[in-house]
Amino acid sequence: QKEVEQDPGPLSVPEGAIVSLNCTYSNSAFQYFMWYRQYSRKGPELLMYTYSSGNKEDGRFTAQVDKSSKYISLFIRDSQPSDSATYLCAMVWDGSEKLVFGKGTKLTVNP
Amino acid sequence: DGGITQSPKYLFRKEGQNVTLSCEQNLNHDAMYWYRQDPGQGLRLIYYSQIVNDFQKGDIAEGYSVSREKKESFPLTVTSAQKNPTAFYLCASSWGGRLNQPQHFGDGTRLSIL
């Protein structure tokens, strides 16, 4: 079983839709969870950073962590064409030697 | 503006040649990282450094070398021993030298074989 699983998509939605992006993980030690957005030919940009379980909201973005299910989500409300990108989840725990990334989900928001 | 600058944006390597990718940050971050990104494979850690004059191998260090002589700079050399160097290389940095801090990325260097 891979440490972090993320559906690569592609995911295509109409403008204004609510988007749900997800990652599952196998290592219960993970404590810190991140979501990155990566536009084509650019570096990943940090969107959300959360610790342990619960929800965190920032504008149109909500990150959700369910440690009991080993499942994290990123919700995008009122999606815009400018949200079209690849979204990467990442996670780490205290004492870990590296950040573990999902392979990314490619999202297209159609006008 | 604070950030991470990677150069060049595109680089071509001939057979048997070593090439060096530059990474400079002005965020005053302690830790710096190099990743390789291939289609369908996600990000793989090559090397990281939590403090000046010290660095550790990541998952795929073979065929690569780094140095960390200054806090701001973490150059990556792709040696001729790396037989499949074509990839998108990303440099990142984080505050405090602890791996649980969020990493901030540059805009990458795309390396191709001539």
pLDDT in tens, A20-68: 999 999 999 999 999 999 999 999 999 999 988 889 999 999 999 999 9
Joined together, the tokens standing for residue B59 give 């998952």
Whether A60 contacts A20, CB under 8 Å: no
| Contacts A8 to B, Cβ<8 Å | 40
A29 at the B interface (CB within 8 A)? Answer: no
| Measured distance CA(A23)–CA(B70) in Å, rounded | 37
Q: Tens of pLDDT along B27-54? A: 999 999 999 999 878 899 999 999 999 9
Contacts of A72 (CB under 8 A, 6+ apart): A22, A23, A25, A33, A63, A64, A65, A66, A89, A91
| Measured distance CA(B82)–CA(B60) in Å, rounded | 10
CA–CA min distance A86, chain B (Å)? 11
Is B42 in Cβ contact with A96 (below 8 Å)?
no
| Measured distance CA(A7)–CA(B42) in Å, rounded | 12
Return the pLDDT at A25: 96
A103 at the B interface (CB within 8 A)? Answer: yes
Strand partners, B56: B48
